Each structure stands twice: as C-alpha cells, then as structure tokens.
C-alpha cells in the first residue's frame, strides 16, 4: 500500500477512535468534580502538553476554534490544576476509556502499538505543536494503552496537517467548520452562516493535500507493516463497544 493510500485508508480510525474518550460521560463527570467548567478540561487536558503558555499560543495551535472560546477556557483550566497534571489526567482518561470500550482479545494491541509508534517516533513535528507535546508524554507499558496513546498522537499529527492544508487552500476556518461539521459550529465558537460555494472544491483539495502530507508521515511503514496498520487501526475502530 502506498503511503498516501495508507493515510486515506486510516483516516477514520486515526480521526475518530481517540476522540471518543474526550466526550465520554465519565471524562466530563470527572472534570466537573475537579472544578472544570463547561469544556475547559478538553482545552486544559489536550493543550496541557504545550506547557504554561499564553492563550494566544494555544489558540493558534487549535486552528479551527474561535480564539474567544479558547482564551477563557485555557485560563480557567489553569486555575484548576497545573498544565502538566491536566495533560496527564487527559491521557489517563484515554486509557480508562480504552479499558471500558475496547476488548482485550479482539485486536493484536501490541502489533498496533508497534506500528503506530513507529510512525509517531519517525514523524517530523514541524507545524504540529500538540503532536510534539503529546509525544513527550510517558508512553504506557500496557499494550492497549500504548496503542491508544500512539493513535492519539497520530490524530494530533493528522489534525495539524489538515489545519495547514485548509489554511494553504485559503479557506476561512469558520467556513471549514461550517462546511465539514456544522453541528458543532457553536462549540467551536462561530455563528451559523452560509458558506461560499467555492469552499466545497477547495475543501476537497485540502483533503487531498492532507493525505499527501500524512502519507509522508506514514512512509516509514512499508509492505506488510503498511497493510497491517490499516487493518488493525480499522479493526480497533470497529471494535468499540
């Protein structure tokens, strides 16, 4: 499988699997118990790997979110716990969610962790700050946890490549959200609006550019490794209970 084909074949599991723990009811309940307001833990935990930096910096890393949403959430999260603690807790919820929703014996988790980790370790982190920060977190020893850990790293990597592609194609980020996921436009802090007609074409071009860039990241896998990663990543997504 060619690297760009691998990027396309794994778009769904890489983009969707680890997003599940972020909106999991237990994650949200725990965050509320700690004192986080609304979705502040999402920002504090996901962006905690960037360290205690200014809100303008983390807003830039979040590409598609309105900075007016990111700024107060980042500052609010910092009042509850340190950036390091929030990032560790965020990762911990990924592993807790995996234990509750991914079967132990349906997937060769060790092999998936090996392959996803090979991409993560070889990837050049330019223009992918959240990925770079996540890669610095301690990697768990448990095979399933390690696989989920690396898959989340790949999610951050692909999201960074996608954000860069959307910007390169001249698409307004609010238009990008409205076109691709209009049901969360309010969560991202933008008003509902009509999207220019040419956004559809430019979005498709951005998707192709995303797969090209992600394919370069995935080129470390060849032959059987490439096929195994596509099979196992999609099997993991389908195994969610």
Q: What is the pLDDT of residues 153-195, one digit of tens each?
A: 999 999 999 999 999 999 999 999 999 999 999 999 999 999 9
Task: Please report the pLDDT score of residue 52 as a whole number.
Answer: 96
Task: Please report the pLDDT score of residue 32 as a whole number.
Answer: 98
Contacts of 49-58 spanning 24+ positions with Cβ under 8 A = 49/83, 49/87, 49/130, 49/133, 49/134, 49/136, 49/137, 50/83, 50/129, 50/130, 50/133, 51/83, 51/84, 51/133, 52/78, 52/82, 52/83
Q: What is the pLDDT of residues 70-118, one digit of tens each?
A: 999 999 999 999 999 999 999 999 999 999 999 999 899 999 999 999 9
Task: Please report the pLDDT score of residue 85 as a whole number.
Answer: 98
Task: Please report the pLDDT score of residue 152 as a whole number.
Answer: 98
> How far is residue 19's CA from residue 184's CA, in Å, rounded to a whole number?
14
Token representation of residue 203: 């979005």
Tell me the chain's radius of gyration from C-alpha atoms: 17
Task: Please report the pLDDT score of residue 106 as a whole number.
Answer: 87
Whole-model pTM over 0.85: yes
pLDDT at 232 > cutoff 90: yes
Q: What is the pLDDT of residues 124-149, one digit of tens each?
A: 999 999 999 999 999 999 999 999 99
């Amino acid at each position: 499988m060619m690297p760009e084909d691998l990027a396309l074949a794994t778009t769904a599991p890489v983009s969707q699997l680890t997003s599940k723990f972020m909106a999991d009811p237990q994650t949200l309940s725990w965050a509320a118990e700690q004192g986080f307001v609304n979705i502040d833990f999402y920002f504090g935990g996901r962006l905690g790997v960037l360290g205690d930096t200014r809100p303008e910096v983390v807003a830039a890393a979040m590409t598609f979110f309105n900075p007016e949403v990111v700024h107060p959430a980042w500052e609010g999260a910092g009042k509850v716990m340190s950036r390091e603690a929030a990032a560790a807790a965020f990762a911990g919820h990924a592993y807790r969610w995996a234990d509750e929703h991914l079967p132990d014996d349906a997937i060769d988790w060790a092999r998936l962790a090996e392959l996803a980790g090979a991409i993560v370790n070889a990837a050049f982190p330019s223009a992918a700050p959240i990925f770079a920060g996540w890669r610095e977190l301690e990697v768990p020893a448990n095979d399933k946890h390690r696989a989920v850990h690396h898959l989340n790293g790949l999610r951050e990597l692909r999201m960074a490549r996608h954000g860069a592609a959307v910007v390169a194609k001249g698409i307004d980020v609010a238009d990008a959200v409205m076109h691709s996921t209009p049901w969360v436009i309010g969560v991202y802090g933008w008003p509902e609006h009509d999207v220019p007609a040419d956004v559809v074409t430019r979005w498709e071009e951005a998707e192709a550019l995303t797969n090209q860039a992600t394919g370069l990241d995935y080129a470390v896998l060849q032959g059987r490794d490439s096929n195994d990663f596509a099979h196992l990543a999609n099997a993991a997504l389908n195994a969610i209970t």
